[in-house]
Amino acid sequence: MIMFRKLGAQLQEGAPCDAVPVADKRMLLILGLTCCLALVWPLPHSIALRNILMVILLSVLIPRTQWTRLGELVAGPARAITSLYMLFTLWILVVAFFISPFPHWSLSEITGQWFSAAVALALGALTAKQAGDRLGPAAVIGLLGILSIQVLAVDVQGLWMLLHGGDWTHMARLGGLTAGPGKASYLTNFLLSALIAELSLRMEGQRALRLAQGALWGLLGACLLSIYFEAMRNELFDVGIFMLFVGFIGYRKYSRTAPGRALFVASVSLIVIIGASALDVVLDPRWSSLWATIPIALDTKQHLAWLNGRIFPLPHLPNGQIVSASNYLRIAWIKEGLRAIAAHPLGVGFGRSAFGHALRLKYGSLVGDTGLNNSLITIGIGTGIPGLALWVAWFFSMGKLAIHNFSGHGAFYARFWLLIILSFGIRMAMDNDMQNYTLEQFLYFIGLLCPLASGVVRRKAA
């Protein structure tokens, strides 16, 4: 509880996130709705409730929005980001109406997935551009508090299982309050992005959050414990991104004044990455059979379990064991997904099951409940090469603006934003995260942090 009080306390006076006491009742209402939405978002079977909260929050935010300043942001620093986002939206509509063999399905997906995520993006931007400039920073603090609760829920669940006979080397994959470990892992990454951003500032002698050093390290430890209990292999790459970021900050600070210390920080970051990788390889048996699975999975003509697991059985490894379904399917689906992009360069229609729809055009009724654990390839299949190019360009434009504001009064927001972009981007190559509330949460943070990172710097320069 002390940790939560410190996290929710006023931010350091004069820092980019300084939180002015909120007396306005409407402002308190918005903060309450924002925190409720953040808590409800990842809960299973909560679609109706979160949609209601989003509509209510939008109706409360619109009257207090500083539309002139929001327009200046859209026409100024965020012009490229906004333009690419709008072009991507326009393109998926063009594909749905004029190119897709499944127009009704694609339009349904756009309405249910993309437009609802667009509302989340708008909620973030409107929150950051409320009158008085107080709500955005306060919302960041509230969101970090909710994320901390969700991360600690995974830790409590895991520790409870250990205390009741669980084996720490063969833990069940836990999701805390969410629908599963995959969903919980994104929440952990959101919180880690903020904490690493704060840690990087403190390495440079600055700070944004009024959070004791011990509390900061405690939350970092809670996130690492949560990663262990979630047991998501793909989180290893996120940890690598975070550690490389810390190593870069340390090296940049000490490279001229203390080369030995710079080398030490970089070495520690590398050692942590190697250590985490080695531990994951030891604890996760799927790694041991990965190399033997690759040639089998790439032979998609001989082995067809990737097409329909109910009809075609999983193949066997040379030692006689059945392949790991996770290893086999990921590799086979990536190969066939790339072939689908080549076969449909303009896309088959935006949607979560674009891969399955592309396969049905070729294999018909043989196709089973086929997914694709790769959002980048899913986008490429659904929106074609033009859509994929627009999506990647949008990510690069966001990263460019975040790096531009890397130092200065808005550094915390910019670094927080950059780490979210990097971690979400790398997970897109390994998870199908471009759907449902995961996409909504990501776009909400984009909408919230982009104005805060760029707007604070611009006001100071003025």
- 442 belongs to a structural domain: yes
- 337 belongs to a structural domain: no
pLDDT, tens digit (0-9, with 9 covering 90-100), for 347-384: 999 998 899 999 999 888 888 777 788 899 999 999 99
- 302 belongs to a structural domain: no
Task: Give me the percent of the chain exceeding a pLDDT of 90.
Answer: 46
The model's pTM: 0.88
Both tokens of 184, joined, read: 């919980």
Q: By the 8 A CB rule, do 379 and 341 touch?
A: no
The domain containing residue 230 runs over which residues? 2-13+21-283+404-461
Q: By the 8 A CB rule, do 239 and 265 touch?
A: no
pLDDT, tens digit (0-9, with 9 covering 90-100), for 19-52: 444 447 788 889 999 999 999 999 888 889 999 9
- 76 belongs to a structural domain: yes
The C-alpha atoms of residue 372 and residue 352 are separated, in whole angstroms, by: 9
pLDDT over 50 (residue 1): no
In which band, very low, low, confident or very high, does the pLDDT at 9 lie, cut at 50, 70 and 90? very low
pLDDT over 80 (residue 390): yes
- 340 belongs to a structural domain: no
Res 66: pLDDT: 85
The lowest-confidence range among 147-156, 166-175, 439-448 is: 166-175
Domain count, the chain: 1
- 452 belongs to a structural domain: yes
pLDDT, tens digit (0-9, with 9 covering 90-100), for 193-221: 999 999 999 988 899 998 899 999 999 99
- 388 belongs to a structural domain: no
- 336 belongs to a structural domain: no
Q: By the 8 A CB rule, do 305 and 311 touch?
A: no
Among 15, 8, 198, 33, which Cα is nearest to 126's?
33
The DSSP annotation for 334-388 comes to: HHHHHHHHHH-TT-S-SSTTHHHHHHHHHHGGG--S---S-HHHHHHHHHHHHHH
pLDDT over 60 (residue 15): no
Label residue 65 exposed, middle or buried (CB < 10 Å: 0-12, 13-18, 19+).
middle
Q: Which amino acid is at 121?
A: L
Query: Under 8 Å CB-to-CB from 348, ≥6 apart: which residues?
Result: 100, 101, 102, 106, 340, 354, 357, 358, 361, 381, 382
The 8-class DSSP code of residue 315 comes to: P
